[in-house]
Copies of this chain bind each other. A is one copy, B any other.
Amino acid sequence: MNEASPTLRAWVYWWLERPDRNADGPRLLEIALIALISLNVGAVILETVGPVYARWQFAFDLFERVSLLVFTAEYLARLWVAPENPEVQSRRKWASSPLAIVDLLAILPAVLGMLFPLDLRILRTLRMLRLLKLTRYSPALGMLLAVFEEEAGAFLAGFFILVLMLIFASSGAWLAEHEAQPEAFGSIPAAMWWAVATLTTVGYGDVTPVTVAGKIFGAIITIVGIGMAALPAGIIASGLNDQLHRRRASLEAQFRLALEDGAICAKEQAAIEALRKELGLSRRAATHIHEQVRTETLARQGVCPACGRSLPVFESME
């Protein structure tokens, strides 16, 4: 890959990475890529339906070849323009970023499948990884993923409790049921299938305890299951709350800075709006924060927030 003219590289960068979020052309390219990824996933799903694949095999194979070409070109182009991005700079740094790895995973299995004889069914399933390319285009995922990242400790602790409960539940069920149902509860690993379905409140019902001891033990595990299933809900709720709290505080600080001189000028307004979108806060939430900061600022300056007149100073006590 030779160093091409920086002007062409900058132009490709502008088309692919959209540094200017409002440009129309790159937006259309983005939509086209999203459509291609979705069609790819749809094709993999449909190929597994025997009669459909038998009928349209040629079209499916052609579509796969074209898609592979496009995705490979996209990967190489993104690699090439990486130095244009002031936040990335080196190609090595871009290639080791999560988004680049996802892009590589989207083409690697098919390329390997051309070079070595691989099981076609597994190859087909690996093409599903192209779905991950969509994460690039979903800014709304940011807050949820931030919650998962920050609460990773709590989720891990919850997972440890789940494993503990799982092992105790399957041990108990095995002890109570292995004589009555040697098939389904003959060993602890076998009993785990029931334990997982019960502790997660899924409850398939394909395997259930039948002895009195097994049913009593099963009922206790079932009740513990609600607590188990409640843990992630609690962690997510608390984590989202925390995120919102912190994001709101960031916007509040921006509003306070802008209001320090008494009014918000057009430039400050644009900066606030950009921050609001980046933080994923609703317009209504922003208006509420604005109102609060304004009231507070006015009060600090000795002006009544309701009527705008100077507040009297309470000096009767001095």
Number of interface residues of A (CB under 8 A): 103
Neighbouring B residues of A208 by C-beta, 8 Å:
204, 206
Cα A202 to Cα B153 in complex, Å, equals 27
Interface segment out of the listed A19-27, A75-83, A87-95, A154-162? A154-162
Partner among B45, B238, B280, B295 whose Cβ is within 8 Å of the Cβ of A167: B45
User: With an 8 A cutoff between CB atoms, is A284 at the interface?
Assistant: yes
Cα A187 to Cα B230 in complex, Å, equals 31
Q: Which residue of B lies closest to A129 (CB)?
A: B168
User: A230-B233, A288-B246, A292-B249 given as contacts; is B200 within 8 A of A225 (CB)?
Assistant: yes
User: A284-B150, A302-B314 given as contacts; is B222 within 8 A of A202 (CB)?
Assistant: yes
By the criterion CB–CB under 8 Å, are B196 and A223 in contact?
Answer: yes
A102 to chain B: closest CB distance in Å?
12
Partner among B122, B161, B204, B306 whose Cβ is within 8 Å of the Cβ of A205: B204
Q: Which residues in chain A, 239-264, are within 8 Å of chain B measured between CB atoms?
A: 239-242, 244, 246, 249, 253, 257, 260
By the criterion CB–CB under 8 Å, are B204 and A192 in contact?
Answer: no
User: With an 8 A cutoff between CB atoms, is A301 at the interface?
Assistant: yes
User: A49-B187, A156-B140, A225-B200 given as contacts; is B302 within 8 A of A313 (CB)?
Assistant: no
User: With an 8 A cutoff between CB atoms, is A8 at the interface?
Assistant: no
Partner among B41, B48, B242, B280 whose Cβ is within 8 Å of the Cβ of A187: B48
By the criterion CB–CB under 8 Å, are B172 and A125 in contact?
Answer: yes
By the criterion CB–CB under 8 Å, are A193 and B219 in contact?
Answer: yes
By the criterion CB–CB under 8 Å, are A196 and B219 in contact?
Answer: yes
Neighbouring B residues of A242 by C-beta, 8 Å:
241, 244, 285
Copies in the complex: 4
By the criterion CB–CB under 8 Å, are A141 and B162 in contact?
Answer: no
Q: Which residue of B lies closest to A310 (CB)?
A: B317
User: With an 8 A cutoff between CB atoms, is A31 at the interface?
Assistant: no
Q: Which residue of B lies closest to A172 (CB)?
A: B125
Q: Which residue of B lies closest to A246 (CB)?
A: B288
By the criterion CB–CB under 8 Å, are A201 and B229 in contact?
Answer: yes
By the criterion CB–CB under 8 Å, are A302 and B280 in contact?
Answer: no
Cα A205 to Cα B201 in complex, Å, equals 12
By the criterion CB–CB under 8 Å, are A140 and B153 in contact?
Answer: yes
User: With an 8 A cutoff between CB atoms, is A300 at the interface?
Assistant: yes
User: With an 8 A cutoff between CB atoms, is A35 at the interface?
Assistant: no
Given A125-B171, A206-B208, A311-B317, 13 more pairs with CB closer than 8 A: A44-B188, A48-B178, A48-B188, A49-B186, A131-B167, A144-B231, A226-B228, A226-B229, A242-B244, A242-B285, A301-B314, A310-B316, A313-B318
